[in-house]
Structure 1
Amino acid sequence: MTTDKTTTIRGYAKRLRLPRLTANVQELLLKAQKESPSYDDFLGHILEMEIKSREEKQKFSRLKAARLPFMHDLDLYDHGMSNGLSITQLNQLREPHWIDESYNLMLAGPCGVGYAK
């Protein structure tokens, strides 16, 4: 494919806000020339790539907005606090049954022990 056409495709992808296609148009076209996929497979691959990229970006944005500390470890939980959570119950949290049941889970401590940025 000529450079003019590649530049045009890149411009269209940018206007349509398709960042993965914008960044990888030349590689995708070369791969398509080598592998000769059907038109539907080629287009499907590009759209799937864009969707995965957007989902990953949204996931990263949500994690960043949550401002969670990077290290979560139940081994660091302070059992000395009298909060009604036994060691057995805490160990049960290691088994993700609560996720399958769609339960929310929150571990809290006294004021001043939370994560601050």
Structure 2
Amino acid sequence: METNEQINALCRQFKITAMASCLPQVIADSEKLSSGYRDFFLALLKQEAELRLKNEIARRRKAARLPLKNDLGAYDKKAENGLTPTRINQLRELNWLDQGFNLMLLGPSGTGKTFLAAGLAADAVDKGYKAYFKTMEDLTGILKLKDLTRTAAAEYKRILRADLIILDDIMLFPVEKSVAVSLFNFVNQVYEQTSFIITTNKMPTEWAKMLDDEVLATALLDRLLFRCDIINLSGKSYRMKNRQSFFEHQK
């Protein structure tokens, strides 16, 4: 067996696949630069580290279950929703997450709440945080089934260990009493060590009506708003403003 084949086989055996794939290029670069053994070995290790980091970020992004559109680099800076590019950049620095603060993105449908929340979650994942994106429907399903199925129980345990939880479209519909109580118990369990991004089109004063319990709504908001920035998004729906027609594409 040739030397390169032996190296590739050993790399696969020890699961250092980046070294195997980049070996010819690193050898060529080292010969061109007349690199020493240490520089050559360092170059191989850097390639392996880069691939492992890339794979780890991909794994965390998959686990976070983010919406497909989550790249804030593509955010429409001309969108008239009351959020300036400077404010977006400040949010993307994640200082609020480092310090354990929550964000509440408040505004009508189509003003960019979900996209902004997903983008900030993607930034957090890329920087090493454990983040999970859940719609209100997703979370209520988990809360209902966590004591009944292994899948829901495992998912519940995962989100309990999250650094950041996104609750999308919270209070969009009225919440039944048992689910409201489970939601409060969940938030009460994690709010001191976990940050939230909440998107909603309901003012906090309307939550009591959606929960049909003013005391429970007050207790829930007390925990979510204790360390929280409320960001009001306004304007017309981006989707409706940029509505597309099938027939226009046929012209």
2:88 is equivalent to residue 94 of structure 1 = yes
Q: Normalized per residue, which structure has more strand?
A: 2
Q: Deviations over 1:61-90 (max 9, x none)?
A: 111121111224777xxxxxxxxxxx65x5
**Distance across 1 between alignment mates of 2:20 and 2:66:** 32
Structure 1 residue matching 2:88: 3-state secondary structure: coil
**Distance across 1 between alignment mates of 2:102 and 2:39:** 40
Q: Number of residues paired by the alignment? A: 98
Aligned twin of 1:56: 54
Q: TM-score, normalization: structure 1?
A: 0.65
**Distance across 2 between alignment mates of 1:10 and 1:95:** 44
AA partner of residue 67 (structure 1): R
Aligned twin of 1:23: 21
Moved over 6 A (4+): none
- Identical residues among aligned pairs (%): 21
AA partner of residue 44 (structure 2): I
**Distance across 1 between alignment mates of 2:89 and 2:5:** 51
Structure 1 residue matching 2:94: 3-state secondary structure: helix
Aligned twin of 2:168: 108
Aligned twin of 2:65: 67
Give structure 1 stretches of 5+ with no counterpart. 76-86
Give structure 2 stretches of 5+ with no counterpart. 104-165, 174-198, 200-251
Q: Deviations over 1:34-67 (max 9, x none)?
A: 2221211111111111111101111011111211
**Distance across 2 between alignment mates of 1:41 and 1:30:** 13
